[in-house]
Every structure is written in C-alpha cells, then in structure tokens.
Amino acid sequence: MLFPDYRPRRLRKNENLRRMIRETSLSVDNLIEPLFVVPGKGVRKPITSMPGVFQLSVDELIREAREVQAAGIPAVILFGIPDKKDDRASGAYASEGIIQRAVRALKDQVPDLIVIGDVCLCEYMSHGHCGLIQDGDVDNDATLELLARTALAQAKAGIDMVAPSDMMDGRVAEIRQALDENGYENLPILAYSAKYASAFYGPFREAAESAPQFGDRRSYQMDPPNAREAIREVSLDVEEGADIIMVKPALAYLDVICRVREEFDLPVAAYNVSGEYAMVKAAAQQGWLDEERVMMEILTAIRRAGADLILTYFARPAAAKLRKG
C-alpha cells in the first residue's frame, strides 16, 4: 500500500493508539541494578563520575537493597572492593570476603531479592588484571581454579546466581563443574559471554577501584570491531553450561545483542555500562538533553535489540517512570 491509501500516521495520533500497537515493551522485570560494596560501616561514598551511584558498606547496602526491592526491581548484582589486595585475589574467595559477607546480610535482611555475584578477580588483584600474571600477561588456565573458588565461595554464602565477567577461556565449564561437585547444581550462571575491551568502562573502574596497573585487557576481552567472534564466544559458554548469556557493553553493541538473540534461545542479558550512564548524566546536567526521555529511549533500544535482562544504573529511575506510565 502506498500513500494516500496507507497513512502510517493514523495509528500515531494519540498515546492510547501508540500503546496498542507498540512492538517493544520495557518492564521493571527486565531490570537488574549493579551495586558496589566496601568494608566498613556507615559508608556511602559518591562515585564522582557516576552521579547517584555510591560505594556502600554492608549496612548501607541493605538499605539500598530494600529501596531496590520496593521499586519492584527483581535483582541486584554485587561488585566488591576489598580492604586489601594481593597478587592472588585472595579476598575474592575468602569465606569472610566482602561479597560473601554482603550476600549473607542481604539474604538475611532482604531474602526475596535475587542477588547475583560478579565473579572476577580484578577488584581483588594488586595489579588490577582479571587473573594471575605470568610473563607479563594473564595466565588463562591457572586463573580458572581461582574463578571457580570464587563462585563456590559465593554459593556457600547463599548467592542466587553467579556471573563470571573475566573472559578467561573455559571458565564457565570450570565454574559449572565446581558448583555441581559441591551440591550447587541448581545455581544458575549468567555468563559475560561477549564482553568487549571497551572505553565505556572508565567510570566503573573508579567505582570498583579496578584499573589495571600496567597494560590493558585487550588480550582477553573482545576486540570491538568483531561481531562474528561474539557468536563463537557465546556458543562456547552455552556448551559449557551457561544459563543466561550477556553482551557488554550494550549501547554501542546493539547489533551484537540482536545477532545473539537471533542465534540462541537462552535468556539474553545486556549491560548498560558506566560510561553510557555517565554520558547521559553529564549531558543532562548541562541541560543538553532530557535525561528521563533519553534513559527510557536507551533502555527500550536495548530491549528492542533483543535483551531480556538489562543491567543498568538507571534501574530505579526507570522503574519509577514505568510505574508512572
């Protein structure tokens, strides 16, 4: 049909009509809020590059988690910053490590909230890389045992889901085996399956205090120009036992989310990362854009690309907007 017989504007003339034929829906059920936890008490330290986001001690984390639950958001993902770092990331898998303590407190105080544990070593390593260093680079295979120990420590603390974000080859299989052998066969794995070596992570590295002390992470995170490789990476994680697969970052990789959604029938997550959040906040502070409208447009775009779950620092304001309609 051609104009004037077909007039697409007929179905756009008011909000109710637009709602009736809307192709993509965004729900609070799609949202996961990242939270940063640190040692101490009464700590609520602002992250300067991420307005509205804080490093939180466990007591403040509980308060924040209750607000997340009250907003209707089903899950949080925790990133831990230890009081001491070393070259074996021992704080990541210690029974009294910061994430393990936070998980126990959350499951005691906010039991219905789904708690996901980031499984990576960079925050706990004195050098800031995601694994053990051998000859100036990360030793992939030697790192796998420590990642599995970290996931198992979180499982013992009561975590609801583990999320390996390190991009070591074979880590999903290693974690799955460790969990299964210790009676945690029902604990799901959310794998950072296609995680790119992105410049959009800058603010996160301030929040997690995890910037590499030398070099960069391009030898183990994916090269941004590659999309077909993402399918191979995701395939490996699926074969190794991942229950949910993730693309990170989201906004600059919508095409990759779309390809992954078309290729696999597992739930797909996407991480609306710190740099994407910080850009919107900075532009809004200058009065250059409408923060709420841009936030919702970005999250809807990530959904439209095919993500079932969105990790986002906008989770609570987005939930508030969705409640208002």
Catalytic residues: 195, 248
Residue 144 and residue 167 in contact, taking contact as beta carbons nearer than 8 Å: no
Helix (H, G, I), strand (E, B) or coil at 206: helix
For residue 225, which amino acid is it?
Answer: P
Residue 144 and residue 171 in contact, taking contact as beta carbons nearer than 8 Å: yes
Could you tell me where the DSSP H helices lie in the chain? 15-20, 58-70, 90-93, 98-109, 140-157, 171-181, 202-208, 228-240, 254-263, 274-285, 291-305, 315-324
State the number of CA atoms in the 13 A half-sphere of 130 facing the CB.
23
Q: What is the C-alpha separation between 29 and 72, in angstroms, rounded?
A: 8
Q: What is the C-alpha separation between 24 and 13, in angstroms, rounded?
A: 18
